[in-house]
Protein backbone atom coordinates (compact mmCIF):
# COMPACT_ATOMS: atom_id res chain seq x y z
CA UNK A 1 0.00 0.00 0.00
CA UNK A 2 1.40 3.38 -1.00
CA UNK A 3 2.18 5.70 1.91
CA UNK A 4 1.07 9.19 0.85
CA UNK A 5 1.16 10.61 4.39
CA UNK A 6 4.93 10.34 4.78
CA UNK A 7 6.42 10.45 1.30
CA UNK A 8 10.04 9.39 1.15
CA UNK A 9 12.43 12.25 0.53
CA UNK A 10 16.11 12.46 1.34
CA UNK A 11 17.10 15.92 2.57
CA UNK A 12 19.82 17.56 0.54
CA UNK A 13 23.11 18.76 2.12
CA UNK A 14 22.07 22.38 1.51
CA UNK A 15 18.72 21.85 3.23
CA UNK A 16 20.43 20.09 6.14
CA UNK A 17 22.81 23.04 6.52
CA UNK A 18 19.87 25.48 6.69
CA UNK A 19 18.23 23.38 9.42
CA UNK A 20 21.46 23.13 11.45
CA UNK A 21 22.19 26.83 11.04
CA UNK A 22 18.84 27.83 12.50
CA UNK A 23 18.82 25.43 15.44
CA UNK A 24 18.21 27.10 18.81
CA UNK A 25 21.36 25.37 20.14
CA UNK A 26 24.88 26.33 19.18
CA UNK A 27 26.90 23.74 17.23
CA UNK A 28 30.66 23.76 16.76
CA UNK A 29 32.47 21.07 14.77
CA UNK A 30 36.22 20.39 14.77
CA UNK A 31 37.88 18.16 12.20
CA UNK A 32 40.28 15.34 12.98
CA UNK A 33 43.18 17.82 13.22
CA UNK A 34 41.20 19.82 15.82
CA UNK A 35 40.62 22.74 13.46
CA UNK A 36 37.27 24.53 13.60
CA UNK A 37 35.39 23.34 10.52
CA UNK A 38 31.81 24.49 11.26
CA UNK A 39 30.05 26.94 13.58
CA UNK A 40 26.32 27.53 13.16
CA UNK A 41 24.60 30.93 13.27
CA UNK A 42 23.43 30.58 16.88
CA UNK A 43 26.99 29.91 18.09
CA UNK A 44 28.31 32.77 15.95
CA UNK A 45 25.82 35.10 17.58
CA UNK A 46 26.75 33.93 21.09
CA UNK A 47 30.46 34.58 20.58
CA UNK A 48 30.27 37.55 18.23
CA UNK A 49 32.18 35.85 15.40
CA UNK A 50 31.53 34.90 11.77
CA UNK A 51 32.75 32.39 9.20
CA UNK A 52 36.22 33.93 9.27
CA UNK A 53 37.01 31.82 12.34
CA UNK A 54 36.71 28.63 10.25
CA UNK A 55 40.00 26.82 9.92
CA UNK A 56 41.55 28.09 13.13
CA UNK A 57 43.25 25.59 15.39
CA UNK A 58 41.52 24.96 18.73
CA UNK A 59 44.39 26.63 20.60
CA UNK A 60 43.86 29.79 18.53
CA UNK A 61 40.41 30.18 20.12
CA UNK A 62 42.10 32.04 22.99
CA UNK A 63 42.43 35.01 20.61
CA UNK A 64 38.63 35.47 20.55
CA UNK A 65 36.99 36.88 23.69
CA UNK A 66 34.00 34.50 23.74
CA UNK A 67 35.53 31.39 22.21
CA UNK A 68 38.44 31.35 24.65
CA UNK A 69 36.08 30.37 27.48
CA UNK A 70 35.03 27.34 25.43
CA UNK A 71 38.70 26.46 24.84
CA UNK A 72 39.49 26.62 28.57
CA UNK A 73 36.57 24.26 29.19
CA UNK A 74 37.33 21.79 26.38
CA UNK A 75 41.12 21.82 26.61
CA UNK A 76 43.42 21.37 23.63
CA UNK A 77 42.56 17.64 23.48
CA UNK A 78 38.80 18.43 23.32
CA UNK A 79 37.65 16.55 26.41
CA UNK A 80 34.34 14.72 26.40
CA UNK A 81 31.82 16.72 28.44
CA UNK A 82 28.24 16.04 29.47
CA UNK A 83 26.13 19.13 30.17
CA UNK A 84 28.96 21.09 31.77
CA UNK A 85 27.90 24.56 32.83
CA UNK A 86 29.75 27.55 31.37
CA UNK A 87 29.05 31.17 32.27
CA UNK A 88 29.93 33.32 29.26
CA UNK A 89 28.92 36.54 31.02
CA UNK A 90 26.39 37.68 33.60
CA UNK A 91 23.65 37.54 30.98
CA UNK A 92 24.38 34.13 29.45
CA UNK A 93 24.96 30.64 30.88
CA UNK A 94 25.53 27.72 28.55
CA UNK A 95 25.36 23.98 29.07
CA UNK A 96 28.19 22.41 27.07
CA UNK A 97 28.39 18.83 25.79
CA UNK A 98 31.15 17.49 23.57
CA UNK A 99 31.99 14.12 22.08
CA UNK A 100 34.01 12.63 19.20
CA UNK A 101 32.47 11.94 15.80
CA UNK A 102 33.07 8.58 14.11
CA UNK A 103 32.53 7.24 10.62
CA UNK A 104 32.91 3.50 10.21
CA UNK A 105 34.84 3.29 13.53
CA UNK A 106 37.30 6.03 12.43
CA UNK A 107 37.37 9.28 14.36
CA UNK A 108 36.65 12.13 11.94
CA UNK A 109 36.23 15.04 14.33
CA UNK A 110 34.48 16.45 17.37
CA UNK A 111 31.05 17.94 17.98
CA UNK A 112 30.35 20.57 20.64
CA UNK A 113 26.73 21.40 21.56
CA UNK A 114 25.94 24.66 23.36
CA UNK A 115 22.54 24.88 25.04
CA UNK A 116 21.41 28.23 26.47
CA UNK A 117 20.17 27.65 30.04
CA UNK A 118 20.19 31.30 31.12
CA UNK A 119 16.43 31.46 31.67
CA UNK A 120 16.33 28.17 33.59
CA UNK A 121 19.19 29.30 35.83
CA UNK A 122 17.46 32.63 36.43
CA UNK A 123 14.28 30.83 37.51
CA UNK A 124 16.32 28.48 39.72
CA UNK A 125 17.97 31.47 41.39
CA UNK A 126 14.60 33.10 42.06
CA UNK A 127 13.38 29.85 43.64
CA UNK A 128 16.54 29.59 45.74
CA UNK A 129 16.24 33.21 46.85
CA UNK A 130 12.60 32.65 47.79
CA UNK A 131 13.42 29.50 49.79
CA UNK A 132 16.29 31.30 51.53
CA UNK A 133 14.14 34.31 52.45
CA UNK A 134 11.25 32.15 53.66
CA UNK A 135 13.49 29.88 55.74
CA UNK A 136 15.28 32.80 57.37
CA UNK A 137 11.98 34.50 58.16
CA UNK A 138 10.59 31.30 59.71
CA UNK A 139 13.67 30.44 61.78
CA UNK A 140 13.41 33.33 64.27
CA UNK A 141 9.74 32.91 65.30
CA UNK A 142 10.11 29.11 65.44
CA UNK A 143 13.14 29.45 67.71
CA UNK A 144 11.16 31.84 69.93
CA UNK A 145 8.28 29.35 70.12
CA UNK A 146 10.74 26.60 71.03
CA UNK A 147 12.19 28.73 73.84
CA UNK A 148 8.70 29.54 75.16
CA UNK A 149 7.66 25.86 75.14
CA UNK A 150 10.88 24.90 76.95
CA UNK A 151 10.18 27.54 79.60
CA UNK A 152 6.68 26.19 80.17
CA UNK A 153 7.80 22.53 80.24
CA UNK A 154 10.49 23.30 82.83
CA UNK A 155 7.65 24.76 84.96
CA UNK A 156 9.38 28.09 85.43
CA UNK A 157 6.00 29.80 85.18
CA UNK A 158 4.13 27.36 87.41
CA UNK A 159 3.28 23.71 87.89
CA UNK A 160 1.71 21.74 85.05
CA UNK A 161 -0.66 18.80 85.21
CA UNK A 162 -0.04 15.71 83.07
CA UNK A 163 -2.50 16.75 80.33
CA UNK A 164 -0.84 20.15 80.00
CA UNK A 165 2.63 18.58 79.83
CA UNK A 166 1.52 16.11 77.14
CA UNK A 167 0.00 18.88 75.04
CA UNK A 168 3.12 21.08 75.34
CA UNK A 169 5.43 18.17 74.51
CA UNK A 170 3.43 17.46 71.36
CA UNK A 171 3.61 21.13 70.42
CA UNK A 172 7.37 21.18 70.98
CA UNK A 173 7.86 18.04 68.89
CA UNK A 174 5.92 19.59 65.99
CA UNK A 175 7.85 22.84 66.35
CA UNK A 176 11.19 21.01 66.27
CA UNK A 177 10.15 19.22 63.07
CA UNK A 178 9.53 22.63 61.53
CA UNK A 179 12.92 23.87 62.74
CA UNK A 180 14.57 20.78 61.22
CA UNK A 181 12.82 21.50 57.90
CA UNK A 182 14.05 25.11 57.99
CA UNK A 183 17.62 23.90 58.63
CA UNK A 184 17.37 21.45 55.72
CA UNK A 185 16.05 24.16 53.40
CA UNK A 186 18.90 26.49 54.37
CA UNK A 187 21.35 23.63 53.73
CA UNK A 188 19.87 23.19 50.24
CA UNK A 189 20.30 26.92 49.55
CA UNK A 190 23.96 26.75 50.62
CA UNK A 191 24.53 23.69 48.43
CA UNK A 192 23.03 25.42 45.39
CA UNK A 193 25.15 28.51 46.06
CA UNK A 194 28.29 26.39 46.41
CA UNK A 195 28.95 27.70 49.92
CA UNK A 196 28.22 24.61 51.95
CA UNK A 197 31.36 23.18 53.55
CA UNK A 198 33.04 24.86 56.51
CA UNK A 199 36.65 24.40 57.56
CA UNK A 200 38.07 20.90 57.18
CA UNK A 201 39.97 19.81 60.28
CA UNK A 202 41.62 16.51 61.35
CA UNK A 203 38.81 14.66 63.12
CA UNK A 204 38.10 11.44 64.99
CA UNK A 205 35.48 9.83 62.75
CA UNK A 206 34.84 6.95 65.14
CA UNK A 207 33.93 9.39 67.93
CA UNK A 208 31.45 11.15 65.62
CA UNK A 209 29.74 7.82 64.89
CA UNK A 210 29.71 6.86 68.57
CA UNK A 211 28.19 10.23 69.51
CA UNK A 212 25.39 9.75 66.95
CA UNK A 213 24.67 6.20 68.17
CA UNK A 214 24.57 7.42 71.80
CA UNK A 215 21.75 9.83 70.91
CA UNK A 216 19.66 6.94 69.52
CA UNK A 217 20.07 4.49 72.42
CA UNK A 218 16.58 5.11 73.75
CA UNK A 219 14.94 4.50 70.37
CA UNK A 220 17.09 1.40 69.76
CA UNK A 221 15.87 -0.07 73.06
CA UNK A 222 12.27 1.00 72.43
CA UNK A 223 12.15 -0.79 69.04
CA UNK A 224 14.22 -3.73 70.38
CA UNK A 225 16.66 -3.34 67.51
CA UNK A 226 19.70 -5.65 67.43
CA UNK A 227 22.36 -2.98 66.90
CA UNK A 228 26.01 -3.65 66.07
CA UNK A 229 29.02 -1.39 65.47
CA UNK A 230 31.67 -3.28 63.51
CA UNK A 231 35.26 -2.03 63.12
CA UNK A 232 38.02 -3.59 61.03
CA UNK A 233 40.50 -1.93 63.35
CA UNK A 234 40.33 -0.30 66.77
CA UNK A 235 42.50 2.51 65.43
CA UNK A 236 40.65 4.49 62.78
CA UNK A 237 42.94 7.26 61.44
CA UNK A 238 41.91 10.91 61.73
CA UNK A 239 40.58 12.45 58.53
CA UNK A 240 40.11 16.04 57.33
CA UNK A 241 36.38 16.79 57.40
CA UNK A 242 33.78 19.38 58.27
CA UNK A 243 32.76 17.71 61.54
CA UNK A 244 29.27 19.21 61.76
CA UNK A 245 28.37 18.21 58.20
CA UNK A 246 29.72 14.65 58.46
CA UNK A 247 27.91 14.25 61.78
CA UNK A 248 24.65 15.17 60.00
CA UNK A 249 25.29 12.56 57.25
CA UNK A 250 25.95 9.77 59.77
CA UNK A 251 22.91 10.89 61.77
CA UNK A 252 20.69 10.90 58.68
CA UNK A 253 21.70 7.39 57.58
CA UNK A 254 21.28 5.89 61.06
CA UNK A 255 18.01 7.77 61.57
CA UNK A 256 16.65 6.39 58.27
CA UNK A 257 17.73 2.85 59.20
CA UNK A 258 15.88 3.12 62.52
CA UNK A 259 12.85 4.88 61.07
CA UNK A 260 12.28 2.28 58.35
CA UNK A 261 13.12 -0.85 60.36
CA UNK A 262 10.46 -2.84 62.13
CA UNK A 263 10.59 -3.67 65.84
CA UNK A 264 13.02 -6.50 66.54
CA UNK A 265 15.03 -5.82 63.36
CA UNK A 266 18.78 -5.53 62.93
CA UNK A 267 21.06 -2.60 62.10
CA UNK A 268 24.81 -2.98 61.50
CA UNK A 269 27.04 0.10 61.35
CA UNK A 270 30.48 -0.62 59.89
CA UNK A 271 33.70 1.40 59.56
CA UNK A 272 36.44 0.05 57.28
CA UNK A 273 39.51 1.48 55.59
CA UNK A 274 41.50 0.68 52.48
CA UNK A 275 44.67 2.30 51.16
CA UNK A 276 42.93 5.53 50.15
CA UNK A 277 39.54 5.75 51.82
CA UNK A 278 37.55 5.39 54.96
CA UNK A 279 34.43 3.32 54.18
CA UNK A 280 31.29 3.74 56.28
CA UNK A 281 28.09 1.73 55.93
CA UNK A 282 24.70 1.35 57.62
CA UNK A 283 22.83 -1.87 56.93
CA UNK A 284 19.25 -2.50 58.06
CA UNK A 285 16.62 -5.21 57.76
CA UNK A 286 13.85 -2.71 57.04
CA UNK A 287 11.41 -1.98 54.25
CA UNK A 288 14.01 -1.51 51.49
CA UNK A 289 13.60 0.66 48.42
CA UNK A 290 11.39 -0.36 45.46
CA UNK A 291 13.38 -0.90 42.27
CA UNK A 292 11.41 1.75 40.37
CA UNK A 293 12.36 4.38 42.98
CA UNK A 294 16.06 3.64 43.26
CA UNK A 295 17.29 6.00 40.53
CA UNK A 296 15.66 8.95 42.27
CA UNK A 297 16.58 8.26 45.89
CA UNK A 298 19.22 11.04 46.08
CA UNK A 299 17.01 13.61 44.33
CA UNK A 300 15.80 16.70 46.14
CA UNK A 301 12.36 16.27 47.82
CA UNK A 302 12.06 12.62 46.69
CA UNK A 303 10.74 9.90 49.01
CA UNK A 304 10.16 6.29 47.98
CA UNK A 305 6.56 5.16 47.71
CA UNK A 306 6.74 2.58 50.52
CA UNK A 307 8.52 5.05 52.85
CA UNK A 308 5.73 7.58 52.31
CA UNK A 309 3.09 4.97 53.17
CA UNK A 310 4.90 3.89 56.34
CA UNK A 311 6.00 7.34 57.56
CA UNK A 312 3.93 10.28 56.36
CA UNK A 313 6.36 12.83 57.81
CA UNK A 314 9.59 13.62 56.00
CA UNK A 315 10.74 16.16 53.44
CA UNK A 316 12.94 14.11 51.11
CA UNK A 317 16.00 16.32 51.67
CA UNK A 318 18.18 14.17 53.93
CA UNK A 319 19.79 11.98 51.26
CA UNK A 320 20.08 14.89 48.80
CA UNK A 321 21.98 16.93 51.40
CA UNK A 322 24.07 13.91 52.46
CA UNK A 323 25.13 13.19 48.87
CA UNK A 324 26.28 16.76 48.38
CA UNK A 325 28.24 16.76 51.66
CA UNK A 326 30.07 13.52 50.84
CA UNK A 327 30.87 14.57 47.26
CA UNK A 328 32.07 17.98 48.46
CA UNK A 329 34.58 16.07 50.64
CA UNK A 330 35.80 14.14 47.58
CA UNK A 331 33.98 10.95 48.59
CA UNK A 332 31.24 8.79 47.06
CA UNK A 333 27.86 7.65 48.38
CA UNK A 334 25.72 4.76 47.14
CA UNK A 335 23.39 2.02 48.32
CA UNK A 336 22.19 -1.52 47.78
CA UNK A 337 18.58 -2.34 48.49
CA UNK A 338 15.73 -4.72 47.84
CA UNK A 339 12.14 -4.02 48.77
CA UNK A 340 11.10 -5.76 52.01
CA UNK A 341 14.66 -7.07 52.45
CA UNK A 342 16.42 -3.99 53.81
CA UNK A 343 19.03 -1.51 52.60
CA UNK A 344 22.73 -0.80 53.01
CA UNK A 345 23.99 2.75 52.49
CA UNK A 346 27.70 3.35 52.00
CA UNK A 347 29.96 6.36 51.74
CA UNK A 348 33.69 6.88 51.43
CA UNK A 349 35.89 9.71 52.61
CA UNK A 350 39.47 10.15 51.40
CA UNK A 351 42.09 9.41 54.06
CA UNK A 352 44.53 11.93 52.58
pLDDT at 1: 47
- Mean pLDDT is lowest, of 17-31, 250-264, 307-321, 325-339, for 307-321
Has residue 196 got a pLDDT over 90?
A: no
In a domain, 3, yes or no: no
Let me know whether 29 and 137 are in one domain: no
Q: At what angle do helices 318-328 and 162-193 cross, to 10 degrees?
A: 40
pLDDT at 217: 92
- Of 92, 116, 140, the domain-final residue: 116
CATH of the domain at 221: 3.30.565.10
Q: How many other β-carbons are positioned within 10 Å of the β-carbon of residue 56?
A: 16
**CA–CA distance, 230 with 344 (Å, rounded to integer):** 14
Q: Is residue 298 part of a domain?
A: yes
Q: Which of 116, 149, 175 is the C-terminal boundary of a domain?
A: 116
The verdict on 238 and 336 lying in the same domain is: yes
Torsion of CA 344, 350, 351, 352, to 10 degrees: 180
Look at residue 51 in the predicted model and tell me its pLDDT.
86
Q: Are residues 210 and 287 in the same domain?
A: yes
pLDDT tens by residue, 217-259: 999 999 999 999 998 876 788 999 999 899 999 999 999 999 8
pLDDT tens track for 88-101:
877 888 999 999 99
271: pLDDT strictly greater than 90: yes
Q: Is 295 exposed, middle or buried (0-12, 13-18, 19+ CB in 10 A)?
A: exposed
Cα-based torsion angle of the residue sequence 66, 71, 73, 79 in order, rounded to the nearest 10 degrees = 150
- 17 falls within a domain: yes
Share of the chain above pLDDT 70, in %: 94
Q: How confident is the model at residue 343 (pLDDT cuts 50, 70, 90)?
A: very high
Can you give the pLDDT at residue 340?
85
Are residues 133 and 218 located together in one domain of the fold? no
Domain count, the chain: 3
Lowest-confidence segment of 82-86, 183-187, 285-289 by average pLDDT:
183-187
Picking from 193, 219, 249, the residue at the C-terminal end of a domain is 193
Q: 266 is in which domain, residue-wise?
A: 201-350
- Same domain for 288 and 210, yes or no, is yes
Amino acid sequence: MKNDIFPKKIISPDEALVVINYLSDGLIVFNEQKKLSFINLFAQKIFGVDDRVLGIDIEEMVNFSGLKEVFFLLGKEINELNRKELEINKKMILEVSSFPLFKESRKIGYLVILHDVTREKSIEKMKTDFVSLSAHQLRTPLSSINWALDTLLKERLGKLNESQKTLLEQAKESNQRMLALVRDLLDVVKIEEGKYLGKLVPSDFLKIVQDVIKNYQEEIKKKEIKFQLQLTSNKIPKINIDQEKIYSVVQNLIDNALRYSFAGGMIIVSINTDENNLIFSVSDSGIGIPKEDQNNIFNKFFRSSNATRLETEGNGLGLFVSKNIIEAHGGKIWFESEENQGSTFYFTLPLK
